[in-house]
Amino acid sequence: MAPPLLQLRNIGLTFGRTPLLEDAELSLAPGERVCLVGRNGSGKSTLLRIAAGLIEPDSGSRFIQPGATVRYLPQEPDFAGAPTVLAYVEAGLGPGDDPHRARLLLDQLGLHGEENPAALSGGEARRAAIARTLAPDPDLLLLDEPTNHLDLAAIEWLEATLLGSRAALVLISHDRRFLTNLSNATAWLDRGRTRRIERGFAAFEAWRDEALAEEERDQHKLDRKIVAEEHWLRYGVTARRKRNERRLANLHALRQSRRDYRASAGKAQLAAVQADASGALVIEAERISKSYDGRPIVADFSTRIRRGDRIGIVGPNGAGKTTLIEMLTGLAAPDAGTVKLGAGLAMARLDQHRDSLDASSTVADTLTGGRGDAVMVGGKPRHVIGYMKDFLFAPEQARTPVGVLSGGERGRLMLAQVLAKPSNLLVLDEPTNDLDLETLDVLEEMLADYTGTVLLVSHDRDFLDRVVNGVIAPDGEGRWVEYAGGYSDMLVQRGGDLSRSAKAVAKDAAKDAPKDKPARPSAPAKRRLNFNEKHALETLPGKIAKLHDTIAVLQAKLNDPALFTRDRKTFDDISHKLSAAHAELAKAEETWLELEILREEIEGA
């Protein structure tokens, strides 16, 4: 067995009173690709910084294979002292490294190298930092959220580059598909300790859920045992003093074990306050256009968005996604064309820029607007501490300045602000940035239950496939095209990735076709169940069973022959409820049957 490139053993680190890391471990052999996963605030980035040698732990040991080249990608790169991007990237090269590789990587990432680092956007800064990290062709890569601020084309380029690299890899990311495609082992950092499986991220969530369920069963057994021992202590025989003292000592040990147990962090309770339903037609855009400095951002685009639609807007950074969504929601006027908004719209919007939060304000003041200790949730006051807990903030964080929060905590804080407002149109611009995987799951569930309309800008391929039923993507020169289905469906229909226009793909296909045969039309995209349809298939059987129970209870009440003469009003109320329940049951059964037939057709195709 080859010696490890990296080995962390019994790592301990404490900030304040609560240990952040307790006997944490991490090892990496040549060729391994380990994804490091855990909740926001669990210490993943800290453990990676310890692996990079940037933080000294309170206890434990760190081993790096002598002569191994290690490169670390931080979440916030430091460009201090670099006059240009090329100089910044070349500063990461070691003796004997190829300087041409730095220029090659910058070119592949869409940078020319002469940019001023101080003037870079978030996406450009991330691409420059990636170029610096990859340029030496290292033996070991430590990557902390490498996909943050990257557009879809850059994410897919990075994924392909890492798959073709010889380097071993430790990866932190919230992008499920990125983790699934790259990892072959998973390290789970939970309550200060690490647990590992020798399988990639695709197997992690089922394994984690089973581990937590087993842990809960063990704690339940411990609680029962403590209760039994306490009962013996109160009512048991007091003879055989030495034996009893030993049993009492065992009870104290059980209690100490219970006190030492650190329960896992709770699950975020995300729920959007829903306003009254909007009109059936939410947005109608007809031939809208917008240009900046002569450059077309949107050209002659038309769409109709109806109540209940979930529309994803994708594309490279700078393509105009935010501009398009602002025009569609009436926040910006088009240069040409018209946008009509439906009746009764109540919009809530999540901005992608976390810096829109006041860094000097506290968490509580951000939610209450600095007015008392109550948050207005759907027009009703709710104590700020209780509302904070729904979004996994501890009570002691109420007076914490926003500026010291992590990226994930700032993301949850902005969601807490937005979801408190009654809405029937949610506009979410990069909502997945910095959120941990568990919170993303809850956000998906909330959107599935949301009866209004959703406009979503995201670079998270898996999140788009799970949530949206339509995608709007750029096609070059300001043109935008609408596709049915999720992100993967869009790629199939488009016939190429987002870095190439549909027109270019069609041109290449025609060029490659045999000259003596006409070009065959592309096959229609394979239909797939979208997230909402899958969710309905899973939940409708339970709903149908509950309706059957409700109908049985109502029918039993109506079977009382004296009810009509004794209480006519109650008889009429029950009759109306029974009629409504039968109608709802018929609709639910019809919907389930249609979806089940559709599922069988898709699986049989």
Show binding-site residues. 38-45, 315-322
Q: Cite the beta strand spans of 307-449 per DSSP E.
A: 310-313, 336-341, 347-350, 374-377, 380-383, 425-429
Q: Tell which residue, 40, 121, 125, 20, has the closest CA to residue 413.
A: 40
Residue 550 parent element (H or E): helix 531-558
Count the helix, strand and coil residues of the chain and give each as a percent rounded to the nearest 5.
45, 20, 35
Residue 203 CA to residue 207 CA, distance in Å, equals 6
Residue located via tokens 């975020």: 268
Distance, in Å, from the CA atom of 472 to the CA atom of 324, rounded to the nearest integer, reads 10
Backbone angles phi, psi at 456, to 5 degrees: -130, 125
SS3 138: coil
Q: Which residues pair with 86 in a beta bridge?
A: none
CA pair distance 293, 289, nearest whole angstrom: 13
Burial class (CB in 10 A: 0-12, 13-18, 19+), 166: exposed
Rounded CA gap, 601 and 560, in Å?
A: 46
> For residue 39, which of 146, 215, 189, 202 has the smallest C-alpha distance?
189
- Strand duo 480-484 + 470-474: pairing: antiparallel
Contact 420, 276 (CB under 8 A): no
Tokens of 431: 């909502």
**Contact between 204 and 188 (Cβ < 8 Å):** yes
Q: How many residues does the chain have?
A: 605
3-class secondary structure, 342: coil
Binding-site positions for ATP:
38-45, 315-322
User: How far is the CA of 519 from the CAs of 54, 495, 501, 525, in angstroms?
Assistant: 58, 14, 19, 18
Q: Fill in the DSSP letter of residue 198.
A: S
* Cα 432 → chain centroid: 4
Question: Rounded to whole angstroms, how far apart are CA atoms 100 and 92?
Answer: 13
Q: Going by C-beta distance under 8 Å and a sequence separation of 6 or more, which residues neighbour residue 600?
A: none
Cβ-based neighbour number of residue 526 at 10 Å: 12
Report the distance separating Cα 543 and Cα 585, nearest Å: 9
Helix, strand or coil, per DSSP, at residue 586: helix
Closest-CA residue to 85 (of 69, 61, 109): 109
Sequence letter at residue 478: G
Strand bridging mode 168-172 / 33-37: parallel
Task: Give the pairing type, strands 140-144 and 70-73.
Answer: parallel
